[in-house]
Structure 1
Amino acid sequence: MPPYGGEWPAALTGVPGAWLAARQQASAWVASTQQPSISQIHLDRSLPPFLFLSTYHSGFAPPRLVLLTPSFVTTARDEYAAAMDEEYDVVVLGTGLTECILSGLLSVDGKKVLHMDRNDYYGGESASLNLTQLYQKFRNSPPPENLQLGRDRDYAVDLTPKFIMASGELTKILVHTDVTRYLEFKQIAGSHVYRDGRIAKVPSNESEAIRSSLMGLFEKRRARNFFLYIQGWKEDDPSTHQGFDASTQTMKELYTKFGLEAGTQDFIGHAMALWLDDDYLNRPAKPTMDRISLYAQSMARYGKSPYLYPLYGLGELPQAFARLSAIYGGTYMLDKKIDSINVDPETGKFTGVTSDGETVKAKQVIGDPSYFGAGQEPGAEGRIRVVETGKVVRAICILKHPIPGTDNADSCQIIIPQNQVGRKNDIYIAAVSSAHNVAAKDVYIAIVSTIVETSVPEREILPGLQLLGNVVDKFVSIIPIYEPTSTGQDDNIFITRSMDATTHFETLCDDVAQVYERVTGRPLELKKKEPAAEEEGA
């Protein structure tokens, strides 16, 4: 049990030596509530007793304070040193969502996992920042008082905007790993599409479809026949195919078969199948049909929209999977600079990781591209391990009103199909608010993003920014997207892909499944896990 009752911080659950991140959050909490300052905590000095804030709060209850003693700190320091002397099955670098899911799955499998991050917080690209962190990251200054944005601790602003498909792969992983017990979700209020200069809601039921302005009367009848075909199509029953071969004939041919207009094709392909561009039109129809079915199943699950969102922001997701890993014996170390990733000079295979002059031995390593030379020249071995495949431009916007044209929705997704604004790639808007515990009361966070096509990226998202109304403040970033150059099976170095421009987690889950199979040699099977012996309050 924790000293003096209370609960362990998540960073301490089975992970001695990794509590620096919790200290940082505790310090931020103290600063935001004008409480007395916390003593700075370091592993190399004797410490007085101090207050410690739990990093894990799950959304069900406010965080609780824990009092730790010098004896605990000494024990943690000793166990930290011991952890660096051990040999692991897998070292995981970076605490982005992909890495944390893999860490959790491998720990459940019984692998001995060490998870390290150079940052003193969880999340990597999928982190959620409070107001001070947001302004420090983009402006290197505190939030302006004249904007009256409210309390720092009310904010959890996502760096990467994504929503969870209610029937998608991430939902299945959350359920089958029982990570849902650490999280609470809220439905996104609506899914919208931009067409002919205005925003229209994607229908969530038959009555909305009848009233929708997206299609005329006769087009609605043709679209209904199309959706009935998708709903009734069965791969192993040729009688449902109506003479159409979905594995060889293109999606363009299927649209033509039902006589659908170009605007309807835009709405289906981009707002429902969620393709980023029109390349899918000339590919076999089956993948698009599967995507439409997933959207329809997700919509039918809860109504209103197919999307879910975790309270307190997307940064809760990697933390929840980190806790899963810790419960099954995984060791976490944050604020750990990685000096080198070591390979045997003769075999070329991974042997371990050096951090702060100490080397940890392991059989395999998994990590995000930033640990393997992303944006840098080739290393000493002369090997290029990751390549840039594109860039995403994102604008995080703070509003004090709902987005106009969304029926005052407290949250929504808006897709601007590329054909509507003369682009190759769609523009996306993801909006959440205080209803999701990510902003102060009556404050909305809208993130506009797209794949960069020109030398002036910020100009490319103007069609999205113009839909938002008055913007109190905005933070623009251009993010490179990286992919590994090899599978990792020849050297036991397995690199994940960057978070892409999609608005959902399906491609991320594909990456999880592929890396898992390469690491373990077997496909990922989402079976309900047996509960671990988790202590009360862990």
Structure 2
Amino acid sequence: MNEEYDVIVLGTGLTECILSGIMSVNGKKVLHMDRNTYYGGESASITPLEDLYKRFKIPGTPPESMGRGRDWNVDLIPKFLMANGQLVNMLQLTEVTRYMDFKMIEGSFVYKGGKIFKVPSTEAEALASGLMGLFEKRRFRKFLLSCTTFDEKDPKTLEGVDPKKTTMRDMYKKFDLGQDVIDFTGHALALYRTDDYLDQPCLETINRIKLYSESLARYGKSPYLYPLYGLGELPQGFARLSAIYGGTYMLNKPIEEIVFENGRVIGVKSEGEVARCKQLICDPSYVPNQVTKVGQVIRVICILSHPIKNTNDVNSCQIIIPQNQVNRKSDIYVCMISSAHNVAAQGKYIAIVSTTVETSDPEREIKPALELLEPVEQKFVSISDMYAPTDLGTESQVFISRTYDATTHFETTCDDIKDIYKRMMGSEFDFEEMKRKKCDIFGEDQ
């Protein structure tokens, strides 16, 4: 402990573990501590099932019909990876993929008028889809083509639209798209949680639609991937990366105090000893006086004995309920995975509903989603506060991550990682910097 480090990281959430890995690959001396006995922090996967019952204070033990407790790995924060997204890019460059296996999510659905429809993933599906009328399908196809062939370096590819000035609302008007199509494009393809994006320049939205269709093109059925044995595998994979480059890990380490001198962090005190550092990365729970509450998320973990109705009995899927469909300001998400991903007992399914809280009765807000899942065998409800740092770290050199939001993909988490990196290093994050720098992988292939 009584050593000097370049960076100390507190908490083993995904954001912290990825940053710890990046800093180690960059040649920095890293000490990584967590007061918990397990990896993952807020984004852990809980096993066995008995631990989930205890965590949510549900009396008794899981019924025998749930199978062996050890067969369960239940994510507290459900998210999928975009096949062509930033996190997959990070996993491939760092070769963390060698520690994990991924499976494709079988379908992506969107809610319209009380029913769910598959988000079309091929031209044939688009033509057969009940989401739009015939003429609308043609206009939508033109719009999609325009987005996917757009090249930022050659603005002419957008045929007279200035992507930095034209709003998305005007872009939809140009292609004469109706409200239902706008809903599912903005929320199921561009994955916006609210409609604020409509009055922003269309560049960001077009890039998001491109990411969706490129991710889809990689595997064909949906743009999403999910790790076998649950999301808890992700932080552990990046922790291994950090360890290979000399990072030191300590779990179950009580943090007594973050030590400052003249307003700058100089170390962390644990069990009477002080480890010194130049910079500190941590999640909001370690510095409650340097964060502000920016909202709440409700998540409901549901155990089912059946696939979700009207999904063609797939063993994994995502359903997005656009806010306009249920008179809300933000979308409701449903993620479903099953025994096919080694996270549940045979024949069982885990569906997790999440959304940003808007009223004083959060459980009522997610009723439309729960109705899609009936009958539910057991549910676990959590309402958590979301925090953002009030201190950017310029003076203090303390860099705080944001709480995970209600979205069901990791793009916002990756944006946070890039933002922290820029504040710490003073330069833009470059994916190339994550490439493994050594040929000798210590004893891994023996």
TM-score in terms of structure 1 length = 0.81
Offset at residue 520 of structure 1 (A)? 2.3
- 1:387 counterpart (284, 292, 295): 292
Name the CA distance, whole Å, in 1 between partners of 2:405 and 2:416.
11
1:398-431 CA distance string (max 9 Å, x none): 0000000100010000000011111111000000
Q: Say if 2:425 is the partner of 1:425.
A: no
- Output the amino acid matched with 1:390: G
The answer for the alignment partner of 2:437 in structure 1 is 530
1:142 deviates by 5.0
2:412 maps to 1:504:
no
Distance 1:402 1:393 in 2: 22
- SS of the residue aligned with 2:249? strand
Inter-partner Cα distance in structure 2 for 1:488 and 1:533: 34
Name the CA distance, whole Å, in 2 between partners of 1:461 and 1:143: 26
Tell me the residue number matched to 1:111: 28
2:42 aligned to 125, 130, 135, which one? 125
Equivalent of 2:53 in 131, 135, 140:
135
Q: 1:467 to 1:479 in 2, by over 3 A?
A: same
- In structure 1, which of residues 128, 150, 173 is the aligned counterpart of residue 90 of structure 2? 173
Q: 1:282-337: CA deviations, max 9, x gaps? A: 11111111100000000011100000000000000000000111111111111111
Q: Which moved more, 1:527-536 or 1:299-308?
A: 527-536
Match of 1:139, SS? coil
In structure 1, what is the Cα distance between the partners aligned to 2:192 and 2:430?
27
Find the counterpart in structure 2 of residue 349 from structure 1: 264
CA distance in 1, matches of 2:62, 2:152: 58
**Compared with structure 1, are the counterparts of its residues 236 and 522 closer, same or farther at alpha carbon in structure 2 (3 Å cutoff)?**
closer
What's the RMSD between the two structures over aligned residues?
1.2
Equivalent position to 1:198, from 104, 115, 121: 115
- 2:6 aligns with 89
Distance (whole Å) between structure 2 residues aligned to residue 99 and residue 185 of structure 1: 22
Give the C-alpha shift of residue 248 in structure 1.
1.1
Counterpart for residue 279 of structure 1: 196
2:53–2:62 CA contact under 8 A, matched in 1: no
Q: Distance in 1 between matches of 2:158 and 2:189?
A: 21
Q: Aligned match of 2:232 in 310, 315, 326? A: 315
Give the drift of 1:523.
2.4
Give 1:529's aligned amino acid: R
Equivalent pair of 2:304/2:375 in contact (CA under 8 Å)? yes
Which of 374, 378, 382 is matched with 1:477 structurally? 382
Residue of structure 2 equivalent to 1:399 = 304
d(CA) in 2 for partners of 1:166, 1:104: 21
Residue number in structure 2 paired with 1:37: none
What is the identity, as a one-letter code, of the residue corresponding to 2:207? Answer: D
Question: Which ranges of 4 or more aligned residues in structure 1 deviate by more than 6 Å?
Answer: none
User: Which residue of structure 1 aligns with residue 130 of structure 2?
Assistant: 213
The letter of the residue matching 2:442 is E
Deviation at 1:239, TM superposition (A): 3.0
Q: Deviations over 1:470-496 (max 9, x none)?
A: 100000010111010121021111111
Which letter does structure 1 place at the counterpart of 2:114? G
Greater shift, 486-495 or 422-431, is seen at: 486-495
C-alpha displacement at 1:357, in angstroms? Answer: 1.9
Amino acid at match of 1:369: P
* Offset at residue 238 of structure 1 (A): 4.0
Contact 1:195–1:416 under 8 Å retained in 2: yes
SS at match of 1:325: helix
> CA offset at residue 533 of structure 1?
3.5
Counterpart for residue 277 of structure 2: 362
Quote the residue 1:80 is aligned against.
Answer: none
Separation in 1, partners of 2:85, 2:136: 29
Partner of residue 101, structure 1? 18
How far apart are the structure 2 equivalents of 1:291 and 1:525? 20
Deviations 1:176-212 (A, max 9, x none): 1110000100000000000111110001111111111
Tell me how far 1:459 sits from its aligned partner: 0.8
Q: Which has the bigger relative contact order, CA under 8 A and spacing at least 6?
A: 2
Deviation of the 1:537 alpha carbon? 6.6
| Counterpart residue identity of residue 193, structure 2 | L
Partner of 2:314: 409
Shift of residue 358 of structure 1? 1.7
Aligned-residue offset at 1:111: 0.7
State the identity %. Answer: 58
Please tell me the residue identity of whatever aligns with 1:123: G
Question: C-alpha separation between the residues in 2 aligned to 1:493 and 1:235?
Answer: 35
Matches within 5 A, 1:179-190: 179-190=96-107
Q: Is the aligned partner of 1:264 residue 2:181?
A: yes
C-alpha separation between the residues in 1 aligned to 2:324 and 2:271?
A: 51
Displacement of 1:235 after TM fit?
A: 2.7
CA contact (8 A) 1:132 1:142 kept: no
**1:162 pairs with 2:70:** no
Counterpart amino acid of residue 285 in structure 2: S
> Does residue 142 of structure 2 align to residue 235 of structure 1?
no
Find the residue that maps to 1:215 and give its secondary structure: coil
Corresponding letter in the other structure for 2:200: R
| Residues 400 and 443 in structure 1, CA contact (< 8 A), matched pair in contact too | yes
2:62 aligns with one of 144, 169, 175? 144
Where in structure 2 are there 5+ consecutive unaligned residues? none
Question: Alpha-carbon deviations, 1:234-279, whole Å to 9, x = none?
Answer: 2333432222112111111110110000000001000000000111
Q: Which consecutive unaligned segments of at least 5 residues does structure 1 have?
A: 1-83, 374-383
Q: Matched residues in 1 for 2:181 and 2:428: separation?
A: 38
SS at match of 1:534: coil
Could you say what secondary structure the match of 2:56 adopts?
helix
Equivalent runs, 1:330-341 vs 2, <5 Å: 330-341=247-258
Q: Flag the 1:238–1:370 CA change in 2: closer, same or farther, 3 A.
A: closer
TM (normalized to structure 2)?
Answer: 0.97
Offset, 1:507: 1.0
Match of 2:66, SS state, is coil
1:487-517 deviations in Å (ceiling 9; x for gaps)? 1021111111111111111111111111112
* Bigger Rg, which one: 1
Secondary structure in 1 matching 2:50? helix
Query: What residue identity is the alignment partner of 1:207?
Result: A
Return the match for 1:468 from 366, 370, 373: 373
Given the superposition, is the C-alpha separation of residues 281 and 536 from structure 1 closer, same or farther in structure 2, using an over 3 Å criterion? closer
